Amino acid sequence: MPVTRAFSRSLSRSKSPPYSPINETLTQEKTSTDELLTSLNQAQALGNNLAQLKSIGGVKEVLRRLHSTVDRGISLATVETRRELFGENSLPSSPRKSFMELFVDTFDDATLKILIAAALVSLAIGIYDDPATGYVEGCAILAAVLIVSVVTAGNDYQKESQFRELSAESERLDVVVVRDGMHWQIPVDQIVVGDIVCLETGDQIPCDGILVHLDGGGSLQVDESALTGEPIDVDKTLEDDPFLLSGCTVEHGSARLVAIAVGKSSQWGIIKSHLEKEQEQTPLQEKLDDMAAMIGYVGMAAAGATFIAMMAIKIFVQPEYLKEHTILSYALEAFIIGVTIVVVAVPEGLPLAVTISLAFSTKKMLADQNLIRHLAACETMGNATNICSDKTGTLTENRMTVVKGMFADTRCDDTINRVPVLISDKSLQIILEGIACCTTAKVIKSEDGDRPVIIGNKTEAALLLLAQSAWSRKDNTDKRRAAANFGQPGGSRIFPFSSQRKRMSVLVTKQNTIDLTGSRANKPTWTLYHKGAAELCLTDCSRYLGIDGTEHTMTNEKRAEFERMIQSFASKALRCVALCHRDNVQDVCDPSNISEKECAQKLERDMCLDAITGIMDPLRPDVIEAVATCQKAGIFVRMVTGDNLDTAEAIAKEAGIFTKGGLSMLGEDFRKLTPAQLDEILPRLQVLARSSPEDKHKLVQRLNGALIPATAEEWLEAHPGRDFEKEKNLILPGFKDEWASSRNGVGEVVGVTGDGTNDGPALKAADVGLSMGLSGTDVAKKASDIIIMDDNFASIVKAVLWGRSVFDNIRRFLQFQLTVNVVALTITFLSAVVGYQPPLNAVMMLWVNLIMDTMGALALGTEPPRAELLDRRPYRRDASLISRPMWRNILCQATYQLIVLVVLLNRGPRFFGCEDGSRQHFTIIFNAFVFCQVFNEFNAREIGDRFDPIRSITQSPIFLMVIFFTVASQWLLVEYGGDFTQTYPLSLDEWKYTVVLGAGSLPVGYLMRMIPVTEAPESFAGIERNGGKKTKKSLLTWLLLALIPILAFLVSQLYHEIAEVAHDTDDNAFQEQFVQDL
């Protein structure tokens, strides 16, 4: 029948469609029709859908309700009405964000907001207090914020561009539909409910539908792996399984379907709708926000305490050096110092360190086959506590493969590695001939030399791949098949595979056949090659092929042996396919004219059993080790698949996922659970089979709490027609308040892997979604945070390693920066309390900030990962960024640096022979303080008890370059800074002493690690390994108490220094000069 092409949309989308009484009927029956179509299109519920279809009277009733027929389709006059009532076959896609939009989005970060506020206040006060240089600190903070925002937005924009190039594919497809008895070729988005859609081999199914016609009878083979995870082609028939899903591919056959769901109502549309919801904050973002808030509170408290202390001294103590200050002028000075403390306390380098560490790791991870689409996902993966993995294409190769078998009575338990097969050439030729000819599949080599392209049945292709592999010395199956002359006059004949018979046969004749005497035969001989379900084929075999190529009688003992082999293979979830043959069938009948039915009755008996093969989608080679590594790292690995339970359990056992005491479950049982019941089995649930996309989505929601309905409106939107008050805590995934109360508001950090459209919602709901770059669908890639470029589960382990490295790098930087912050904040506070200006001026503090911010971020944020990071459990979502050992290190180093500053301030002039309060005096203090930071950077490379400041130092070239740059710049500032930096050139001895004082941070770093302080056990999540060391009681509290006398000593030293200065100067001249210098 000719096809008419709809060149213009106006043909099917006229503004005022012709009048048709059907339109009124469709409108009146819309509600009941919607309910009917929804009941026939439940995800992963074939039994229920089929029962519902039969209960209403079958496909004929569906066509009647939709006012459509198989031959004539729908009326053109009803197209627009159908589109208005049931929707159009398209989904709105979110436009790409511009660089400016991404740039603006970066300012949603709480830390950046605090920094901007601090910068503006510092800018205003600084300009008021010192118009010449007062703007420096505020501008420096704003510059740091700008750098962070530009780098973050630029990285996100670049990754989005890379992703769009990776997944660029035309979504503009045409399909053939029947309308008014004519075939129309229309764009896929013009399909409406009720359309009769024509499908051919290779077509992508454009909407959800029900089979109404099969060309030539038999079945339609459909690849549903993208939507359901089922790796084996599914046979669709009019009686047993007539349901077709959008996004799947027709592998073999031609048919017609009636569209019952389009656009957002289809299974693909339902999946896509879950992808539009916004994700919640990542654990890292939550920790950074908490850290910024905590530091802000501490800074505000210190500023308030400073202001109160200074005003109390002025009003109640009334020292001599404050008598010339009025209360108002001194209050302003106290306020300025308070603002300075806030600015010093705010970690303006923290966002920069996070950004640098993530951006650096992102580029490195690309070399490890991890394309990071969202920067924060890099760190989040490091503390993942659960990985919910798809089976097909992630744990397995998504390629049906012969993994073991019996060939010519010879057992081979590893057809992949134990090659070539050890049987006679005569036996091998018989088996290869059967494989090459008894098939409808094709294997085409890809242009890039990578994985071959499979056309047709994947199980048949597995046998072809075996024949073309080193197992048979790479046989040319295409040449063998061509020699059989299929489809040619007098050539070989084929009876394709039938899902009802579970077998197929070919009758092969080769012209110019040589007989046993060596002369040409007068007529060609015919051989039957047969293939099918092993248990069925075995019953029709009376002989079996021996290793030498001879045929042997099938005894009862031998038959029992083969039956046990088939049962053994089946218990391992292998598909058992037998290969048989029968020679000289022309002596029984005329093969050139025999029918399929006659072939089955007369020829498919008394056959010779050639081989029994075990076929499966095998595990990727390094999956077992990768899963074991994840479990060792405290990560709970689960398999969530659309495949059947037996296969899922077998694969999970082989991978090490399904272990003793573990639980496996079917999706239909999972859906019946209440939230409380699911929480009870979650610690043991390792395998979820026959799961729908919604099941996987709800499992992830229940684990991490992401996107769980938090209001009655959200709950009713997710569960239309249900009773909120009675069922809010009884239907998965639950209600936010119920979920939070069941686990103290702290969820798991969940990583989800997948490659199919069906994985999209779960990938989006996960804390980190990982899609497959080679086999993944566009929907999966767009929903993911990380794309595994080589489709290898082992690459996920590298993602975990890099993620933990990023987390530790951020903590290294925090340990380093907070040490400087504590020292600067304490010295500013103490100096203000005792009436002394801070010893470091604005330019000096700016340089110190540069060292601890930009330079520190570069040095410590780019440390490479270390293998031992996988030996620890992941941190809980609510675990603090600063651990107990880190607080120990920070406090000990800060105490040492404070002692150095105060001693140099008090005793420095006498020791170095310089004037008290002079430029030379303060330059000595400045130089010692800077070198304390330089050497403390080496200390900060370790955040635990290990003391090895130069470990793997050669693998950190950026760290070495930063140290060199810092030392060289410090020398230039001191020697040539002059009036700009208020510094004084130092002598060689002064350089030596200040560097040695700075180097004192290293022995302090060694001694402080002798203090037994351990991380809080409750900071860790994930699987706890047996045999771990018992944690020692933390001594952090005692350490804090021990430092109090030291702080008291520092205050007394400062007060003593002020008393001496006040005594030696007239009318506070020295203080005025000091203020002028600053």
Kind and range of the H or E run holding 1018? none
Residues forming CATH 1.20.1110.10 domain(s) in the chain: 281-364+805-1014+1031-1077
Q: Rounded to an integer, what is the distance from CA 720 to the centroid of its chain?
A: 31
Please report the pLDDT score of residue 1053 as a whole number.
56
Could you tell me the sign of the dihedral formed by the alpha carbons of 715, 721, 727, 730, in that order?
A: negative
pLDDT at 561 over 80: yes
pLDDT tens per residue, range 218-230: 678 888 776 665 6
CATH (one of 1.10.3470.10, 3.90.180.10, 3.40.50.1100, 3.40.1110.10) for 404-616 = 3.40.1110.10
Q: Give CA–CA dist 882/810, Å, rounded.
A: 10
pLDDT at 1069 over 50: no
Residue found under tokens 């350089």: 991
Give me 371's structure tokens: 């394309």
Provide the b/e sequence for 216-231 (b: ≥16 CB within 10 Å): eebbbbbbbbbbbbbb
pLDDT at 1002 over 80: yes
Please report the pLDDT score of residue 293 as a whole number.
72
Kind and range of the H or E run holding 875? none
Please report the pLDDT score of residue 117 as a whole number.
74
More confident residue, 920 or 348: 920
Please report the pLDDT score of residue 280 as a whole number.
55
When pLDDT is cut at 50, 70 and 90, the band that residue 834 belongs to is low
Phi, psi of 753 (to 5 degrees): -110, 145
User: Looking at 7-16, 37-46, 605-614, 815-824, which range is the least confident one?
Assistant: 7-16
Please report the pLDDT score of residue 1046 as a whole number.
57
Please report the pLDDT score of residue 915 as a whole number.
86
When pLDDT is cut at 50, 70 and 90, the band that residue 1070 belongs to is very low
Give the number of other Cβ atoms within 10 Å of residue 1026's Cβ. Answer: 4
Nearest to 600 by CA among 553, 510, 530: 530
User: Could you give the percent of the chain with pLDDT greater than 70?
Assistant: 81
pLDDT at 155 over 70: no
pLDDT at 327 over 60: yes
Nearest to 860 by CA among 282, 377, 154, 352: 352
Contact criterion met (CB below 8 Å) for 438 and 505: yes
Q: Just list the catalytic residues.
A: 390
> Average pLDDT of the chain?
80
When pLDDT is cut at 50, 70 and 90, the band that residue 531 belongs to is very high
Mean per-residue pLDDT, 807-821: 86
Please report the pLDDT score of residue 777 as a whole number.
73
The DSSP-derived string for 950-1000 is TTTGGG-HHHHHHHHHHHHHHHHHHHH-HHHHT--PPPHHHHHHHHHHHHT
pLDDT at 617 over 50: yes
- The 3 state secondary structure assigned to 733-749 is CCCHHHHHHHCCCCCCC
Residue found under tokens 């709480």: 110
More confident residue, 392 or 52: 52
pLDDT tens per residue, range 70-89: 989 999 999 999 999 998 88
pLDDT tens per residue, range 230-285: 666 788 888 888 999 887 888 777 889 999 999 888 887 777 666 554 455 566 66
Residues forming CATH 3.40.50.1000 domain(s) in the chain: 367-396+621-798
Please report the pLDDT score of residue 638 as a whole number.
94
pLDDT tens per residue, range 438-455: 988 888 876 655 677 777
Residues forming CATH 3.40.1110.10 domain(s) in the chain: 404-616
Please report the pLDDT score of residue 1065 as a whole number.
43
Q: Between the ranges 369-383, 441-455, 702-716, 818-832, where is the mean pLDDT highest? A: 702-716
Please report the pLDDT score of residue 352 as a whole number.
67
Mean per-residue pLDDT, 652-670: 92
pLDDT tens per residue, range 185-229: 888 888 999 999 998 877 888 899 999 988 766 678 888 776 665
Q: Rounded to 5, what percent of the chain is helix, strand, coil?
A: 50, 15, 35
User: Looking at 235-249, 286-300, 1025-1039, which range is the least confident one?
Assistant: 1025-1039
pLDDT at 992 over 90: yes
Could you tell me the sign of the dihedral formed by the alpha carbons of 901, 903, 906, 912, in that order?
A: negative
For residue 564, the one-letter residue type is R
When pLDDT is cut at 50, 70 and 90, the band that residue 347 belongs to is low
Give the number of other Cβ atoms within 10 Å of residue 210's Cβ. Answer: 22
More confident residue, 790 or 108: 790
More confident residue, 854 or 797: 797
Is CATH 2.70.150.10 the classification given to domain 3-93+170-275?
yes
CA distances (Å), origin 38, targets 43, 266, 620, 667: 10, 9, 38, 19
User: Could you give the percent of the chain with pLDDT greater than 90?
Assistant: 21
For residue 964, the one-letter residue type is F
Superfamily of domain 367-396+621-798: HAD superfamily/HAD-like (3.40.50.1000)
Please report the pLDDT score of residue 257 as a whole number.
93
Please report the pLDDT score of residue 775 as a whole number.
75
Please report the pLDDT score of residue 95 as a whole number.
63
When pLDDT is cut at 50, 70 and 90, the band that residue 562 belongs to is very high
When pLDDT is cut at 50, 70 and 90, the band that residue 1067 belongs to is very low
Kind and range of the H or E run holding 1012? none
Strands (E), 427-539: 442-444, 453-455, 493-498, 503-509, 526-533
CATH (one of 3.40.50.12280, 3.40.30.10, 2.102.10.10, 1.20.1110.10) for 281-364+805-1014+1031-1077 = 1.20.1110.10
Please report the pLDDT score of residue 1068 as a whole number.
45
